């Protein structure tokens, strides 16, 4: 018997309630653009993004149920379905497309146009939605009870918590407000330092922490386990590899550096060594981690792919109940064919016929991988960048072998990688949303339409967001490191030019292999190697706060509520800091950022600024505790 018939959703299939309405679409589009911009900023800062499905669901419930006084759970579900598409599209775009801006800054090419960015994002996002249509029955329905889809299930729980909807929404909004204030104090008024570091004389290693609420929130949402793997990677790179390089290679000039390592360290400290050398080690570890994760998932991929093919053969929308209706399969296949042709023929997208074929083959392949992955670990832990790295290595090699090299080949490789990265991110998000709908009793076809609307809205906004951030600070700077895009750029250049520092890359590869052998999850560990230790330490603090809350002596249900309230508050903090980041970017573009800067005007000493930063960090943690463990609950 079909498991769809065995499972009884909250809204029965025979009951018809409002889903796609003017209210749900307008709210969904607004949240798609807002969370897309916020997640783009976060990803460019820290190299990681998080799912916006839960905060979008909470806001939808708060507005529709509490403010508009409407009891329409499926309408709220459409809001979160549409809204969450924005952050996923942003995640895929910012991991790759800033590489084009970095090449433009080096004089290798012109900046990509907003139209080019929009079309790449739009085509990738739509392909991600349409690839998920045939996968829904195989993964969401038939694997119900096997694949938990944690964020999709959490969204359903939030929407089902009718009486608690207003309280949950207030927690998210409180997080947004507090984070906006903290971010404005740190990076707007610059009253306190946003990063504090320390080192011991005679030892080249360095340790420290950032104090940003969004970065700490990433650690809280990921949990202590993932955070500790990232921090361990940072400890290895900053307290082991860097000191060893300075100790044994003091008088050596090693490519890509142009001066002896001792001279580089004297001028720029541990950060200079990390920037010139350790990032390549991290790149090798990330590439190996992506490939290892794919190899381990291969049996599941083959099984899922086979199930998808079978469901495509027998799929039609005749005489089936509301909760089983997908978009018409012929329409879906026609849309995929048209989108593939557009990838090839649209002049603004630098992709050849071979590239378009790669997009379709790898796109569906990675959509399957992504959906299976998020079913197990959630969207926030979906290794989209690992898939993109594996794609870029194979794609760049194929393009080089077929004679499509040089700058044109590099642009083509990043365009293909961008589309596939966005496909993977959107497929993961769509599968989480479809899981929510499956539990609630939504109409899949209407959710798929809502995903398309969210993708279109986010795609139209992402180009302007990237241009704004680039104009304000520039990618690859301290403010916007764009770590994933920089990594993609290094990989493509290294393969095309044949000058990748393979010794450093293979060092990272074999570090990843060792991590896998001893049972350490490779991707978070490799990300830790690649990112600054100060950022990893801030993430670790968030993970430790969550660990403490999980260990407190309270009833299990109460403990779960405390942890979930913390997740909601942290989701709000990520959104709040991201939005203020966009506001500060606007001020910087118009030259108004110096007007706000009080650090120079007041002459605040570095020591005072650092102490102030630590005090503010303690306040950030206290606000998180206030809205989780110390929260007053209405009975």
User: Using the 8-state DSSP alphabet, how is residue 380 labeled?
Assistant: G
Q: Indicate the pLDDT class of residue 317, thresholds 50, 70 and 90.
A: very low
Mean pLDDT of 301-322: 61
- Determine the length of the chain: 635
Mean of the pLDDT values across residues 481-487? Answer: 82
Residue 483, pLDDT score: 78
* SS (HEC) of 418-434: HHHHHHHHHHHHHHHHH
Per-residue model confidence as pLDDT tens digits over 556-600: 888 888 998 898 888 788 878 877 887 887 777 677 778 888 888
The continuous run of DSSP H or E covering 371 comes out as: helix 353-377
Query: ω before 109 within 30° of 0 (cis)?
Result: no
Residue 111 per-residue DSSP state: P
Place of tokens 């279109």: 456
Q: What is the Cα–Cα distance from 477 to 387, expressed in whole angstroms?
A: 25
CB of 573 within 8 A of CB of 601? no
Q: How far apart are CA 244 and CA 335, in angstroms?
A: 54
On the CB side of 155, CA atoms within 13 Å amount to: 38
Q: Answer whether 47's CB lies under 8 Å from 89's CB.
A: no
Confidence of residue 523 (pLDDT cuts 50, 70, 90): confident
CA distances from 571 to 57, 122, 237 (A): 11, 26, 29
DSSP string covering 560-581, please? Answer: HHHHHHHHHHHHHHHHHHHHHH
Place 35 in a pLDDT band, splitting at 50, 70 and 90.
confident
CA gap 226, 521 in Å, rounded: 8
**Burial of 202 per CB tally in 10 Å (0-12, 13-18, 19+):** exposed
How large a percentage of the chain has pLDDT more than 90?
A: 33
Q: Tell me whether residue 492 is in a domain.
A: yes
Alpha carbon of residue 169 to chain centroid: 22
Q: In angstroms, rounded to a whole number, what is the distance separating the alpha carbons of residues 203 and 205?
A: 6
> What is the CA 262 to chain-centroid distance, rounded?
36
pLDDT tens digits along 83-132:
989 888 998 899 899 999 999 998 888 889 999 999 999 999 999 999 99
Residues 578 and 246 sit within 8 Å (Cβ to Cβ): no
Residue 468: give the domain boundaries. Answer: 19-171+278-503
- pLDDT score of 60 more than 60: yes
- Pick from 416, 412, 308: which is nearest to 360 by CA? 416
The DSSP bridge partners found for residue 498 are none
Q: Taking all residues of the chain, what is their mean pLDDT, rounded to a whole number?
A: 84
Q: pLDDT tens digits, residue range 245-291? A: 999 888 888 877 788 898 898 888 888 898 888 888 887 887 787 77
pLDDT(2) > 50: no
Q: What tokens does 503 get? A: 């010794």
- How many domains does the chain contain in total? 1
Listing DSSP states for 178-235 in one string gives HHHHHHIIIIIS--S-SEEEE--TT----EEEE--HHHHHHHHHHHHHHHHHHHHHHH
Instruction: Tell me the Cα Rg of the chain.
Output: 24
Please tell me the predicted confidence (pLDDT) of residue 415. 92
Q: How far apart are CA 88 and CA 426, in angstroms?
A: 5
By mean pLDDT, which of 119-123, 371-375, 462-466 is the weakest? Answer: 371-375
User: In the 8-state DSSP scheme, what is residue 348?
Assistant: T
Residue 305 has pLDDT above 70, yes or no: no
pTM: 0.75
Res 1: pLDDT: 37
Q: Are 40 and 469 in contact (CB under 8 A)?
A: yes
Position with higher pLDDT, 230 vs 142: 230
What pLDDT, on a 0 to 100 scale, did the predictor assign at position 59? Answer: 80
> Which has the higher per-residue pLDDT, 462 or 500?
462
Pairwise CA distance, residues 627 & 170, whole Å: 10
Q: Which two tokens stand for residue 399?
A: 């393009």
User: Are residues 56 and 29 in contact, defined by beta-carbon separation less than 8 angstroms?
Assistant: no
Is residue 80 within 8 Å of 155, Cβ to Cβ?
yes
Is the Cβ–Cβ distance between 187 and 584 less than 8 Å? yes
| pLDDT grade for 163, boundaries at 50, 70 and 90 | very low
Rounded alpha-carbon distances, angstroms, from residue 497 to 172, 407, 501, 540: 48, 10, 11, 37
Task: Assign 601 a pLDDT band (cuts: 50, 70, 90).
Answer: confident
Diameter over CA atoms, the chain: 77
Residue 412 forms part of a structural domain: yes
What is the rounded CA–CA span in Å between residue 239 and residue 358? 41
Please check whether residue 514 lies inside any domain of the structure.
no
pLDDT, tens digit, 9 for 90 and up, residues 330-355: 899 899 999 999 999 998 888 888 88
Any domain includes 51: yes
CA quadruple 264, 270, 271, 273: dihedral sign: positive
Cα–Cα distance, 187 to 177 (Å, whole number): 15
Residue 418 maps to a domain: yes
CA–CA separation, 169 and 271 (whole Å) = 40
Would residue 549 count as lying in a domain?
Answer: no
Residue 304 lies in a domain: yes
Question: 3-class SS at 590?
Answer: coil
Question: Which residue blocks in 7-113 are alpha helix, DSSP H?
Answer: 22-46, 53-61, 73-94, 98-105
What is the pLDDT, as a whole number, of residue 99?
Answer: 92
Q: Please state, in angstroms and rounded to a whole number, the distance separating the CA atoms of residues 494 and 488.
A: 10
Which residues make Cβ contacts (< 8 Å) with residue 317, sequence separation at least 6?
Answer: 325, 326, 328, 445
Q: How many helices (H) and strands (E) does the chain have?
A: 25, 2
Contact 36, 465 (CB under 8 A): yes
8 backbone φψ class: left, alpha, beta (φ>0; ψ -120 to 50): beta
In a domain, residue 130? The reply is yes
Contact of 76 with 616, CB cutoff 8 Å: no
**pLDDT above 70: residue 157:** yes
């Amino acid at each position: 018997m079909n498991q769809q018939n065995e499972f009884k959703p909250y809204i029965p299939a025979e009951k018809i309630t409002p889903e796609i309405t003017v209210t749900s679409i307008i709210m969904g589009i607004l949240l798609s653009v807002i969370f897309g911009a916020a997640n783009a900023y976060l990803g460019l800062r820290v190299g990681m993004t998080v799912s916006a499905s839960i905060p979008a669901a909470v806001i939808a419930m708060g507005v529709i149920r509490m403010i508009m006084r409407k009891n329409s759970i499926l309408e709220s579900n459409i809001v979160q379905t549409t809204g969450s598409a924005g952050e996923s599209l942003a995640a895929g775009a910012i991991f790759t497309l800033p590489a084009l801006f970095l090449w433009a800054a080096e004089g290798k090419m012109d900046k990509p146009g907003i139209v080019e960015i929009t079309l790449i994002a739009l085509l990738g996002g739509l392909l991600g939605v349409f690839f998920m249509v045939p996968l829904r029955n195989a993964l969401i329905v038939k694997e119900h009870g096997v694949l938990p889809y944690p964020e999709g299930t959490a969204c359903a729980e939030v929407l089902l918590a009718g009486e608690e909807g207003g309280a949950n929404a207030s927690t998210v909004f409180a997080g947004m407000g507090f984070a906006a204030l903290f971010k404005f104090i740190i990076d707007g008024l610059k009253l306190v330092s946003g990063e504090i570091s320390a080192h011991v004389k005679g030892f080249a290693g360095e340790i420290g922490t950032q104090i940003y609420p969004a970065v700490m929130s990433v650690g809280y949402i990921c949990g202590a386990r993932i955070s500790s793997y990232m921090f361990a990677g940072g400890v290895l790179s900053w307290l082991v590899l860097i000191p060893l390089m300075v100790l044994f290679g003091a008088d050596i000039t090693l490519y890509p550096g142009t001066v002896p390592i001792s001279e580089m360290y004297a001028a720029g400290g541990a950060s200079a060594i990390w920037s010139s050398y350790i990032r390549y080690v991290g790149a090798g570890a990330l590439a190996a981690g992506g490939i290892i994760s794919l190899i381990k998932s291969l049996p599941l991929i083959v099984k899922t792919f086979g199930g998808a093919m079978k469901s495509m053969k027998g799929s039609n929308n005749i005489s089936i109940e509301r909760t089983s209706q997908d978009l018409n399969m012929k329409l879906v296949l026609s849309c995929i064919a048209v989108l593939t042709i557009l990838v090839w023929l649209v002049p603004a997208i630098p992709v050849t016929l071979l590239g378009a074929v790669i997009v379709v083959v790898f796109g569906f392949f990675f959509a399957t991988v992504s959906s299976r992955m998020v079913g197990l670990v959630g969207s926030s832990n979906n290794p989209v960048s690992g898939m993109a790295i594996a794609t870029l290595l194979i794609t760049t090699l194929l393009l080089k072998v077929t004679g499509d090299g040089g700058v044109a080949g590099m642009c083509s490789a990043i365009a293909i990688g961008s589309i596939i990265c966005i496909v993977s991110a959107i497929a993961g998000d769509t599968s989480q949303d479809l899981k929510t709908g499956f539990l609630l009793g939504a109409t899949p076809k209407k959710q798929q339409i809502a995903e398309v609307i969210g993708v279109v809205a986010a795609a139209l906004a992402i180009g302007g967001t990237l241009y704004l951030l680039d104009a304000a600070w520039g990618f690859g700077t301290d403010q916007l490191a764009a770590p994933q895009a920089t990594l993609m750029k290094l990989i493509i250049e290294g393969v095309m030019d044949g000058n990748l520092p393979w010794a450093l890359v293979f060092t990272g590869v074999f570090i990843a292999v060792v991590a896998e052998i001893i049972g350490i999850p490779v991707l978070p560990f490799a990300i830790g190697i690649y990112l600054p230790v100060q950022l990893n330490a801030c993430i670790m603090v968030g993970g430790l706060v969550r660990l403490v809350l999980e260990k407190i002596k309270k009833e299990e249900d109460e403990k779960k509520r405390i942890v979930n309230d913390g997740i909601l508050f942290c989701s709000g903090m990520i959104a709040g800091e991201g939005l203020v980041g966009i506001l500060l970017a606007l001020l910087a573009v118009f030259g108004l950022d110096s007007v706000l800067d009080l650090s120079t005007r007041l002459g605040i000493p570095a020591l005072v600024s650092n102490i102030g930063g630590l005090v503010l960090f303690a306040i950030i943690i206290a606000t998180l505790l206030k809205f989780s463990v110390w929260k007053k609950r209405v009975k």
